[in-house]
Structure 1
C-alpha cells in the first residue's frame, strides 16, 4: 500500500496548481487523470512546429499581477493580443463590438454617430421588459448588431433559438466606442511560448502521475466514491490518501443522486493545410446560423508562427451526453438549484475538496482557476 497525503483527480490547471503548492509544503501527492495526457483542456500538442490547442483556444489574461507573475515562473509569455474577427456571409467585422465594427456596418466615423444609430434602433423596438435572450440582446445593441453578430452564433452555441433562451444569459453586451480590437480589458495577456503543456509538466514535478486512470474504477464504482480513502490503480498498485481533490463532475461523484447537471460540449475538426496562412488571424467566428461551426482557430497565429504549413480547427457546439467531454456548465435556474444540493452536501465533507469548472459547476477563466486553487490551498493547509 502506497500512502499519499493527497489524491488529486484531474491533471488540469486546478489540479496541477493544487499539486504544485501541496508539494512545496512537503506533502505527498498522487495525480490521476482519465485522459492519456496531462493539462486537461489547456493541453497543447506540438505538430510540425505548431503548438495545437487541442481542446480549443486558450488565451491567458488577467488583471491580477500576482497571478500573472505566478504563471510566468513556469513559462515565458509572448505579447499576443486577442483580436477575433467575425464573418457574416460575405461581410467581415472586428470583435469585440467597437468603432471598427460600427464603421464597417453603417459607414459612420464618430462615436456620436454610432451611439445615435444604436439608440435609434433600440427606441424603435420599444422593449421595456425583455422576456428572453433575443429581446434582451435587442434592447442592448439594436437590430443590426444582433442579427449579424449575435443571433446565429448564440443559437449554435446553445443549440436552441434565442427566443427560447432566458434573458439572464446576456446580462450585458459590451459596446466600445473606440477603434480598439483588443478583446480583453485585462492588463496582462499572452500565450506561453512553447504551449501550455510545459506549464503543467513543471507544476507536477515531484508528484506521482498516473494517466488513463479512472477514479471510479480505482475505488470499485461510483457507489463507493464518497466514502473511499483507498483504491487500486490499473496496474494493481494499492494506494491510500488522506484528502481527495476532485476536479471531475460533482454530480457524477455523488452518483447523480440529486439529478444530472447539464453541460454544453464542443467537437473539433482539426486538419493540416498545405499553405502558410489560411485565414490571417488566430480566431475567426462564423456568426451566421447556416454555417454549422462557430469558429475556426488557426493555431500558428497564437505564437506568430512562420511555418510553411498551417493547422486549423473548426469548432462545433453540441449538447453534452455521458461519455462526451463536458465543457460549459448550463447555469440556468434549474441547474443551479440542483448544484446547490450537491454543494451543500460537499460542505459536510471533511476530506474532499471540489475544484475547477466541473467540481464547482462554474465557468472559469484560467486566471480564476489558478486563484481559486491557491485559495483552496490556503484554506486547507495554513
Structure 2
C-alpha cells in the first residue's frame, strides 16, 4: 500500500520504518525544515556542543524492547539526570532525597528519622488530596512545597497549584536515601550523536521518501491508502471547533566560555525568578569535552496559534473540547492519529516509540481496519 506519515518525529519515523520493512511504500511529510520533531539536535558551530534545540530530551525506560530498538539505530551512552534547584539562596538536589531534607532543615537524620520527620511536617488532615497543592502539603508539608514546588509550578503551568490535578505531583518521588537520579528506570542514556542522527537512520530505507517544509492538507490523503497523523489533533480539522490548550516554551539562548553552572539542569523554584530553569547542553553529553558552553533560560507560557505546542493542559475546558474532536475523528476514515500531538497526551519518548511499534503491528495485522486511535486520548 501507499502510506502517508504526517510528521517526521519519533511516531512517524518508527511507524514508517516498520511498514517499509513489511513492503509498503512510505511517504513522510513535515512542515519543518528538519526531521526528529521536538527532539531535534544539532551541533553548535561555535562550541561543538550538541544542542537540544527544543529543550532537553533524556531517554529513560523500563521497556527492554524499546531500549534495544533505539540502540539498533544509535549508540546510547550512559547518562543520569541529576537535577539541581536554586531556592532561598542555596542549591539543592532534586528529586527531594535525604540530602535535600538534611540540608534544608540543617539536620543529619538517618532514613527512618527523616521519614518520621517529614510525616510530622505533612498535613495529615488531607486524607484524599484533590489537587496539586493538597498533594504536596499531604506528603512533604508546607516548607518544602513552598521552596521547591509552588513557584516553579505557577511558572510552568500559569495557574494556581490548587487548579492542577494531584496526579502531576505523583510523578515526583521523595526518597529517603541519597539517590539523586531523577529517574528510576532500568535503562537511561543519551544518543551519542544526537536524536536527529538516530531518526535519520530510522528513516533511511529505500521505501521511505521524506518531504520537509511540506504542510499537510486533508486533500493529500486522497492519494494514499492510509494516513498516520502525528500533527495537532485540532489542526487536522483546521481548528474548526476551537484550539486545544497547550503550554509552550521560549528559550533565551546564551553562550559562555567555560562551565556556567556545573550541571545540565538548574531549576529556579522561586516565583520571583521569571524563568523555570537553565539548561547547559554540554552536560547532556558528559563523554565529550568542550571549552565553550551553550545554555538556555526556559520560560513557559500559554501557546498562541503560531507557537510550537509542548505540554497539553488537559484541564476541564480542554477535556470537553477534546471529547468534541474525538467525536469528529470517529466520523473520519482512512487516518490513524498517533503521538503526543495526535492524541493530545503528554508522552515520554519511550512510550511514543512503544505505541508507534504497536500501532504498526496492528496495521500489519488489520490493514486499513485500524481504528482512528490506537490509544484513546480520553
Superposition TM-score, scaled by structure 1 size: 0.89
Q: Choose from 264, 285, 294 the match for 1:303.
A: 285
Verify the 8 A CA contact 1:84 1:284 in the aligned structure 2.
yes
Aligned with 2:345 (options 350, 353, 362): 362
User: Which shows bigger deviation, 51-60 or 112-121?
Assistant: 112-121
Q: Does 1:99 align with 2:98?
A: yes
**CA distance in structure 1 between the aligned counterparts of 2:128 and 2:358, rounded to whole angstroms:** 39
- Cα shift at 1:130: 4.2
Aligned pair count reads 359
The 5 A counterparts of 1:208-227 are: 208-216=209-217, 225=218
Q: Which runs of 5+ in 1 are unaligned?
A: 217-224, 231-239
Asked if the contact 1:141/1:173 (under 8 Å) is kept, the reply is: no
The reply to whether residue 242 of structure 1 matches residue 225 of structure 2 is yes
Match of 1:5? 2
Return the match for 2:236 from 246, 253, 256.
253
CA RMSD in angstroms comes to 1.8
Match of 1:269 among 252, 267, 274: 252
Distance 1:164 1:202 in 2: 43
Residues 104 and 352 of structure 1, relative CA distance in 2, 3 Å threshold:
same
Shift of 1:98: 0.9
Does the 8 A contact of 1:293 with 1:314 survive in 2? yes
| More deviation, 253-262/28-37 | 253-262
Residue 142 of structure 2 is aligned to residue 159 of structure 1: no
Q: CA deviation at 1:186?
A: 0.4
Report if the CA contact (8 A) 2:250-2:299 is conserved.
yes
Aligned to 1:139, the other structure's residue is in SS state: helix
Is this contact kept in 2: 1:140–1:172, CA < 8 A?
no
Please say if 1:340 is aligned against 2:323.
Answer: yes
Aligned counterpart, 1:112: 112
Q: 1:69, CA displacement in angstroms?
A: 0.3
Q: Which residue of 2 aligns with 1:190?
A: 189
Alignment of 1:124-203 (within 5 A): 126-128=125-127, 130=129, 132-171=131-170, 173-203=172-202
Q: Select the residue among 217, 221, 227 that pairs with 1:229.
A: 221
Partners of 1:375 and 1:164 in 2: how far apart?
35
The aligned counterpart of 1:292 is 274
Between the aligned partners of 1:79 and 1:368, the Cα distance in structure 2 is: 20
Question: SS state of the match for residue 234, structure 2?
Answer: helix
CA distance in 2 between counterparts of 1:19 and 1:89 reads 49
Report if aligned partners of 1:153, 1:287 keep a CA contact under 8 Å in 2. yes
Aligned partners of 1:340 and 1:306: how far apart in 2?
A: 49
